[in-house]
């Protein structure tokens, strides 16, 4: 399946891209992140500490165990600092 990945803040800076489209057979968001981390050093660097990452699935806050079936957009970012 194909999903759009969006990166924000230092995740975006470490990967060097704001967004990309990827093909994956991963079953969950966490599996996709592990797959990317194995792909290249910059992903490994961005995803080295999973506890420091937050994810949104189709623009709703979600978790790493969220299934990828039918998902179109995944965002990966550090804990939010609004306000």
Q: Does 48 bind another protein (CB under 8 A)?
A: no
Mind giving me the DSSP string for 16-61?
A: T-SEEEEE---SBHHHHHHHHHHH-HHHHHHTS-GGG-EEEETTEE
Contact with another protein (CB under 8 A): which of 1, 2, 9, 45?
A: 9
Q: Does 24 bind another protein (CB under 8 A)?
A: no
Q: Does 71 bind another protein (CB under 8 A)?
A: no
Contact with another protein (CB under 8 A): which of 39, 45, 59, 67?
A: 59
């Amino acid at each position: 399946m194909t999903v759009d990945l969006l990166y924000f803040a230092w995740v975006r800076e470490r990967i060097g891209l704001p967004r990309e489209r990827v093909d994956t057979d991963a079953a969950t968001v966490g599996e996709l992140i592990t797959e990317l981390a194995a792909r290249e050093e910059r992903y490994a660097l961005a995803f080295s500490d999973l506890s420091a990452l937050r994810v949104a699935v189709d623009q709703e806050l979600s978790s790493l165990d969220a299934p990828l079936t039918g998902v179109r957009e995944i965002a990966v970012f550090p804990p939010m600092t609004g306000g």
